[in-house]
């Protein structure tokens, strides 16, 4: 980002110049009260004192939000209620002036700092100016002064529309190489917004999406404006902001806690990986494959997410299997095999208390069941096996075949898919297999973690010989049994 | 039977409610429009009340132990202000002096009557789902609103506040509401203290500490609603409700993710049990008992949370051992070995993204008590107690306590051991409250 493309530079300069133009009517008469310069539009509230207090309020709020949240992504953005209240009360140019100190002074996290500050100030100045202009045109000033709420609501609606429209159009106009996102998100950490850019939403869609939060801010701003003009004065207007601040705080806490939660789940999975060295990255990849299958089957986002967790956590029960067995350097006795086959039940025992996992818990318990009833732990068959478990079983087998194991080299993806299709019907649900085949045919298979150096974690003693029972690899049962008894040649004995 | 404070509170609230209802029926309702609007607001606020995350969501029958049911889930992130809109609306009605520029004439009795009726009405659907209003909650609402209304309405009606125009009036409302919020916190602490026998000061401190969050939003919205209605009439109610509802929504998501997080931590903690490193239910028992001891020693809610997480994960270091410790009894190991396991555990916990304080406690659980932070002392004592009392058979608990007392010279902190003894001797009441959340069947 150091070398900013010329087009982006020019664009920002243009926006800033336009912003300055909006400010111009307010600037030349610094000492004269605005009431005299623009008598028709400004009420008694629109003095330099009001401009200054709004500006200080906005700058203070911005400062507070950034210091308090400590890098947590703040919701819908900046303190729009203050800006909108200013837009409802002050003349357009004066309202635009309110933006400046806050937008220019608030810290920016990414370089280039100066350009970002100017961009932030420029786009907000233009938006507030437009909002104020729209409010004026809709006759909102008189409505606010008279306390005529229905008329004031209409004008505020027009103003909110103008505000959103200008912001959206300005953001869309950012030259592509500079990336609309880094600019638009100003100093904020990347949010789930990532999806927006990947999905290539139209500016219309962006506009509609920003409308709801800004409308809420507009209502708060309107109430602020009404109280500001009332006998109770600006102090009462400030109280309107308090619930908003509280909800922003709670939102930031929510994000922080959620991040911590995800880190904990990752730690849970890492614990399995450390114990069972060869499966490094296996859990994440099974989660990825499960997600692909779920999407392909047209499941909704929530269910897809649950299935991702199901994939990630499916082997968590291996925590309960003694490390010596998981990493055993030699053939497994039937006794030991039975112990390892307990891992779905251990896993279920661990995750059953986590209610948000929903059907993922059943997937953990049943991911080694087979369609013909020859699986474990319960030997369920066909439709008795929960759908989530059928998804994870396919994903698990697929990843087991396409990653390196100590007893077998990774197979190419097409070979693995063919193998899966061969076993569909008696081991796997053909629907899931077909979904995976289709999804991979379209997008390919790009595991997030490469499995080149499978196994060999520090601390995992000996070459990680597997217990093939936990491998629902689509090999014929006889071959698998042979593999289990004979073990990978050269590794042991 | 002795008169306990919560009975007294209930009696006061009932008397107030009966008096107000009677007076309202006798005099009829003044300004029906405003009464109806505020009533609807309070009822809607009750309707969208948040009951905390559903503990049994998506759970199959027989899929774990039922949660030990206390009257209110007190353990963990309790929802302090579950119906902020209803609270703000009732406070605003109590402080309403004029509507749309005209003075209003509803008295204090009508305020209480309308709020109570609307609260009950809004709770009807919840009752249908078996989550009706508890008497504590109704009593608090009645008394708080009654307090504000009695402070404000008669004086306002007599014109005492006529000199307090403009900003001074706003300030007056704010002061009055802050006062009422303080009273409500004290009331809540008294009720909790009376029901559980927990020491009063930390309970009060918890209640007061919760005020700046959603409590402040309620106070501000209550004041601003009263003022807004005075300026623009009843239009102000929907306008102002939106931002408070947004705040409630944010809090709800926050509470939900916190509850989920607790469940995940509890599950992570059970990994040691499933791996056979520790006896079944050990982590859960140590966590519950640590919480009770911490409560008894006057720790506040955030500290209790850290303590609970640390107690749940105190044995996690054993997962890193290749050979499990016999019966998971770490208290009987040589000190060096204990410290090594503690450090291993701390390293695991550090990676889980929980508060670094938790990892610190887990790491330092095996140090001599004089060098430990209080929470680590508690975890050490309670862990040793649980291990020793199980190993000791029928007379185990008493012997274990005796052994701990003998060990107070170096290993176990004497004040914690004493607190543990207190908790164990009077555990009945605390236990009932302490089990209020669902950890997924950690108890056998």
- pLDDT tens for B319-334 read 766 666 666 677 777 8
Q: Which segments of A32-112 does DSSP mark as H helices, in order? A: 34-37, 48-69, 80-89, 92-105
SS3 content of chain A, % helix, strand, coil (to 5): 70, 0, 30
Q: Residue A457: its pLDDT value, please? A: 33
Contacts of A316 in chain B (CB under 8 A): 271
Question: Which residue on chain A is closest to B258 by alpha carbon?
Answer: A257
- Residue A34: pLDDT above 50? no
Class of residue B421 by CB neighbours under 10 A (exposed 0-12, middle 13-18, buried 19+):
middle
- Residue A182: pLDDT above 50? no
- Residue A300: pLDDT above 80? yes
- Residue A35: pLDDT above 60? no
- Residue A143: pLDDT above 70? yes
How far is A135 from chain B, CA to nearest CA, in Å?
18
What is the arithmetic mean of pLDDT over A40-45?
43
Q: Residue B151: its pLDDT value, please? A: 87
- Residue B40: pLDDT above 80? yes
Task: Give residue-wise pLDDT tens across range A162-178.
Answer: 999 998 888 887 765 44
- Residue A240 in contact with partner chain B when CB distance is under 8 A: yes
What distance in Å separates the CA atoms of residue A129 and residue B115, rounded to the nearest whole number? Answer: 43
Residue of B242, B316, B355 for testing the chain A interface, max A β-carbons within 10 Å: B242
Where does the pLDDT of residue A36 fall: very low under 50, low under 70, confident under 90, or very high at 90 and above? very low
Contacts of B56 in chain A (CB under 8 A): 355
| Model ipTM value | 0.75
Residues 6+ apart with CB under 8 A from B163: none
Class of residue B300 by CB neighbours under 10 A (exposed 0-12, middle 13-18, buried 19+):
middle
Main-chain dihedrals φ then ψ at residue A452, nearest 5 degrees = -55, -45
Contacts of A44 in chain B (CB under 8 A): none
How far is A246 from chain B, CA to nearest CA, in Å?
6
Considering only A120-124, A310-314, B70-74, B218-222, which range has the smallest mean pLDDT?
A: B70-74
- Residue A349 in contact with partner chain B when CB distance is under 8 A: yes
Q: Residue A24: its pLDDT value, please? A: 76
Where does the pLDDT of residue A444 fall: very low under 50, low under 70, confident under 90, or very high at 90 and above? confident
Considering only A1-15, A216-230, B338-352, B405-419, which range has the smallest mean pLDDT?
A: A1-15
Residues 6+ apart with CB under 8 A from A114: none
With pLDDT > 90 as the criterion, what percentage of chain B qualifies? 11
What is the arithmetic mean of pLDDT over B88-111?
85
- Residue B290: pLDDT above 50? yes
- Residue A389: pLDDT above 90? yes
User: Greatest CA span in chain B, whole angstroms?
Assistant: 81
Stretch 312-341 of chain A: residues touching chain B, C-beta under 8 Å = 316-317, 319-324
**CB atoms closer than 10 angstroms to residue B434:** 22
- Residue A64 in contact with partner chain B when CB distance is under 8 A: no
Where does the pLDDT of residue A160 fall: very low under 50, low under 70, confident under 90, or very high at 90 and above? very high
How far is B407 from chain A, CA to nearest CA, in Å?
34
Q: Residue B328: its pLDDT value, please? A: 65
- Residue A108 in contact with partner chain B when CB distance is under 8 A: no
Q: Residue B115: its pLDDT value, please? A: 92
How far is A320 from chain B, CA to nearest CA, in Å?
4
Considering only A277-291, A454-468, B45-59, which range has the smallest mean pLDDT?
A: A454-468
SS3 A405: strand
Looking at every residue in chain A, the average pLDDT score rounds to 75
Domain-wise residue ranges, chain A: 6-27+40-256, 276-486
- Residue B365: pLDDT above 90? no
Class of residue B78 by CB neighbours under 10 A (exposed 0-12, middle 13-18, buried 19+):
middle
Q: Residue B352: its pLDDT value, please? A: 75
CA torsion, ordered B118, B119, B120, B124, to nearest 10 deg: 100
With pLDDT > 90 as the criterion, what percentage of chain A qualifies? 16
What distance in Å separates the CA atoms of residue B195 and residue B68, rounded to the nearest whole number? Answer: 16
CATH class of the domain at A276-486: mainly alpha
What distance in Å separates the CA atoms of residue B75 and residue B116, rounded to the nearest whole number? Answer: 28
Looking at every residue in chain B, the average pLDDT score rounds to 79
Question: Which residue on chain A is closest to B348 by alpha carbon?
Answer: A267
How far is B406 from chain A, CA to nearest CA, in Å?
36
Question: Which residue on chain A is closest to B166 by alpha carbon?
Answer: A232
Q: Residue B73: its pLDDT value, please? A: 35
Class of residue A228 by CB neighbours under 10 A (exposed 0-12, middle 13-18, buried 19+):
buried
What distance in Å separates the CA atoms of residue B338 and residue A417, rounded to the nearest whole number? Answer: 50
How far is A287 from chain B, CA to nearest CA, in Å?
18
- Which range has the top average pLDDT, A72-76, A193-197, B221-225, B387-391? B221-225
Residues 6+ apart with CB under 8 A from A90: A34, A42, A45, A46, A50, A51, A54, A98, A132
- Residue A53 in contact with partner chain B when CB distance is under 8 A: no
- Residue A291: pLDDT above 90? yes
CATH 1.10.3210.10 range(s) for chain B read: 275-434
With pLDDT > 70 as the criterion, what percentage of chain B qualifies? 86
Residues 6+ apart with CB under 8 A from A220: A81, A84, A85, A240, A241, A244, B242, B243
- Residue B155: pLDDT above 50? yes
- Residue A458 in contact with partner chain B when CB distance is under 8 A: no
Question: Which residue on chain B is closest to A243 by alpha carbon?
Answer: B217
Residue A226 near residue A152, CB atoms below 8 Å: yes
User: Could you tell me the pTM of the whole model?
Assistant: 0.74
CATH node for B275-434: 1.10.3210.10
Residues 6+ apart with CB under 8 A from B404: B381, B384, B385, B388, B412, B417, B420
């Amino acid at each position: 980002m150091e070398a900013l493309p010329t087009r982006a530079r020019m664009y920002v300069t243009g926006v800033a110049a336009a912003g300055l133009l909006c400010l111009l009517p307010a600037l030349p008469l610094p000492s004269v009260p605005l009431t005299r310069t623009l008598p028709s539009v400004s009420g008694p509230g629109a003095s330099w004192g009001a401009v200054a207090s709004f500006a200080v309020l906005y700058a203070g709020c911005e400062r507070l939000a950034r210091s308090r949240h400590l890098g947590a992504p703040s919701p819908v953005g900046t303190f729009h209620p203050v800006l909108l209240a200013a837009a409802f009360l002050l003349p357009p140019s004066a309202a635009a002036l309110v933006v400046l100190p806050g937008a220019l002074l608030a810290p920016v996290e990414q370089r280039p700092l100066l350009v970002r500050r100017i961009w932030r100030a420029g786009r907000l100045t233009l938006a507030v100016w437009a909002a104020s202009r729209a409010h004026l045109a809709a006759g909102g000033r008189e409505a606010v002064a008279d306390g005529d709420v229905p008329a004031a609501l209409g004008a505020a609606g027009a103003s909110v529309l103008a505000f959103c429209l200008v912001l959206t159009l300005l953001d869309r106009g950012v030259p592509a190489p500079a990336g609309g996102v880094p600019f638009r998100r100003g100093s904020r950490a990347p949010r789930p917004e990532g999806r927006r850019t990947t999905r290539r939403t139209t500016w219309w869609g962006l506009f509609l999406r920003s409308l709801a939060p800004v409308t809420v801010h507009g209502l708060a701003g309107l109430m602020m404006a009404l109280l500001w003009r009332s006998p109770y004065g600006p102090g009462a207007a400030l109280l309107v902001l308090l619930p908003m601040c509280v909800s922003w705080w709670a939102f930031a806490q929510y994000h922080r806690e959620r991040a911590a939660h995800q880190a904990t789940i990752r730690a849970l999975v890492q614990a399995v990986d450390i114990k069972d060295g060869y499966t490094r990255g296996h859990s994440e990849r099974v989660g990825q494959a499960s997600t692909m299958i779920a999407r392909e089957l047209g499941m909704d986002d929530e269910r897809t997410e649950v299935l991702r967790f199901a994939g990630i956590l499916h082997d968590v029960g291996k925590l309960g299997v003694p490390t010596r067995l998981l990493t055993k350097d030699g053939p497994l006795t039937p006794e030991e095999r039975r112990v390892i086959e307990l891992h779905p039940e251990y896993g279920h025992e661990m995750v059953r208390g986590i209610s948000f996992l929903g059907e993922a818990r059943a997937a953990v318990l049943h991911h080694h069941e087979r369609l013909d009833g020859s699986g474990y732990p319960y030997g369920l068959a066909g439709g008795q096996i929960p759908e989530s478990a059928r998804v994870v079983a396919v994903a698990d087998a697929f990843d087991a075949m396409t990653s390196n194991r100590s007893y077998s080299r990774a197979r190419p993806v097409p070979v693995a898919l063919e193998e899966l299709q061969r076993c569909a019907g008696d081991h796997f649900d053909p629907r899931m297999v077909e979904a995976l085949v289709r999804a991979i045919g379209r997008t390919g298979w790009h595991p997030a973690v490469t499995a080149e150096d499978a196994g060999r974690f520090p601390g995992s003693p000996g070459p990680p010989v597997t217990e093939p029972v936990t491998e629902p690899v689509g090999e014929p049962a006889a071959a698998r049994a042979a593999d289990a008894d004979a073990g990978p040649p050269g590794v042991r004995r | 039977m002795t008169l306990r404070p919560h009975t007294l509170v209930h009696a006061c609230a009932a008397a107030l409610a009966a008096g107000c209802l009677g007076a309202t029926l006798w005099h009829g309702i003044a300004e029906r429009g405003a009464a109806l609007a505020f009533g609807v607001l309070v009822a809607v606020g009750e309707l969208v009340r948040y009951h905390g995350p559903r503990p049994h969501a998506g759970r199959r029958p027989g899929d774990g132990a039922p949660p030990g049911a206390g009257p209110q889930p007190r353990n963990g992130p309790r929802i302090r202000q579950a119906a902020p809109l209803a609270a703000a609306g009732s406070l605003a009605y109590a402080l309403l002096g004029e509507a749309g520029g005209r003075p209003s004439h509803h008295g204090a009795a009508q305020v209480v009557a309308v709020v109570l009726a609307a609260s009950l009405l809004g709770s009807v659907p919840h009752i249908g789902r078996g989550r009706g209003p508890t008497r504590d909650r109704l009593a608090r609402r009645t008394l708080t609103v009654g307090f504000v209304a009695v402070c404000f309405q008669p004086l306002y009606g007599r014109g005492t506040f006529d000199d307090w125009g403009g900003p001074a009036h706003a300030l007056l409302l704010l002061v009055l509401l802050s006062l009422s919020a303080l009273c409500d916190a004290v009331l809540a602490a008294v009720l909790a203290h009376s029901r559980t026998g927990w020491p009063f000061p930390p309970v009060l401190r918890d209640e007061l500490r919760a005020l700046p969050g959603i409590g402040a939003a309620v106070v501000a919205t209550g004041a601003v609603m009263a003022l807004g209605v005075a300026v623009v009439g009843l239009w102000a109610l929907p306008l102002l409700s939106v931002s408070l509802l947004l705040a409630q929504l944010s809090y709800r998501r926050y509470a939900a993710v916190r509850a989920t997080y607790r469940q995940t931590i509890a599950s992570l903690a059970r990994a040691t049990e499933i791996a056979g490193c520790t006896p079944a239910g050990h982590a859960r028992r140590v966590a519950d008992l640590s919480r009770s001891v911490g409560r008894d020693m006057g720790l506040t809610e955030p500290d209790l949370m850290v303590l609970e997480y640390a107690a749940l994960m105190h044995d996690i270091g054993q997962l890193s051992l290749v050979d499990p410790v016999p019966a998971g009894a770490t208290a009987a190991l040589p000190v060096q070995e204990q410290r090594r396991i503690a450090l291993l555990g701390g390293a695991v916990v550090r990676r889980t993204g929980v508060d670094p304080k938790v990892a610190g406690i887990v790491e330092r659980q095996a140090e001599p008590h004089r060098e430990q932070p209080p929470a680590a002392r508690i975890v050490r004592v309670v862990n040793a107690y649980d291990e020793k009392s199980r190993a000791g058979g029928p007379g185990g608990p008493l012997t274990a306590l005796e052994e701990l007392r003998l060990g107070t010279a170096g290993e176990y902190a004497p004040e914690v051991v004493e607190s543990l003894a207190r908790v164990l001797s009077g555990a009945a009441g605390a236990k009932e409250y302490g089990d209020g959340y669902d950890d997924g069947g950690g108890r056998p």
